[in-house]
Amino acid sequence: GAVVSQHPSRVICKSGTSVKIECRSLDFQATTMFWYRQFPKQSLMLMATSNEGSKATYEQGVEKDKFLINHASLTLSTLTVTSAHPEDSSFYICSAREGQGRPEQYFGPGTRLTVT
């Protein structure tokens, strides 16, 4: 149980275009989902926390107009990187928390974004 999927696993896009990444909880309802960014050989950096039906909470330094997050249902959150630039190239990982009172998060397999 507690499986989280991400799509696509890899995406290449041109500078100035937008790309959407989907995160789905497959066998549980996720009241809260999280989006992380991971640079090579580094730990995960939390970008934003997303609660179903409400606006995402962004971490300091993360541009909310550039990284649009939508959590429209209890099993789906999306991250849209708008007007992508090469410096946005990274490994993006989502996670989901199953419910209140349970701190552990279940992670998706990640999406490798390359902006050319």
Partner 1 sequence: AQSVTQLDSHVSVSEGTPVLLRCNYSSSYSPSLFWYVQHPNKGLQLLLKYTSAATLVKGINGFEAEFKKSETSFHLTKPSAHMSDAAEYFCVFSSGAGSYQLTFGKGTKLSVIP
Contact positions vs partner 1 (CB under 8 A): 4, 6, 32, 34, 42-44, 46, 49, 57, 91, 93, 95, 97, 102-110, 112
Instruction: Please identify, using beta-carbon distances, which residue of 31 and 75 lies nearer to partner 1.
Output: 31
Residue 26 CB, nearest distance to partner 1 (Å)?
13
Instruction: Please identify, using beta-carbon distances, which residue of 84 and 93 lies nearer to partner 1.
Output: 93
Residue 85, both tokens:
């630039």
Residue 34 CB, nearest distance to partner 1 (Å)?
8
Spatial separation of the C-alpha atoms in residues 89 and 94, rounded to whole Å:
16
Please enumerate in sequence order all residues whose Cβ is within 8 A of that of 56, keeping only pairs 6 or more positions apart, or say none.
48, 49, 50, 64, 69, 71
CA dihedral 81, 11, 105, 100 (to 10 degrees): 50
Residue 83 CB, nearest distance to partner 1 (Å)?
26
Instruction: Please identify, using beta-carbon distances, which residue of 61 and 103 lies nearer to partner 1.
Output: 103
Q: Are 33 and 46 in contact (CB under 8 A)?
A: no
Residue 19 CB, nearest distance to partner 1 (Å)?
18
Instruction: Please identify, using beta-carbon distances, which residue of 4 and 115 lies nearer to partner 1.
Output: 4
Spatial separation of the C-alpha atoms in residues 89 and 116, rounded to whole Å:
9
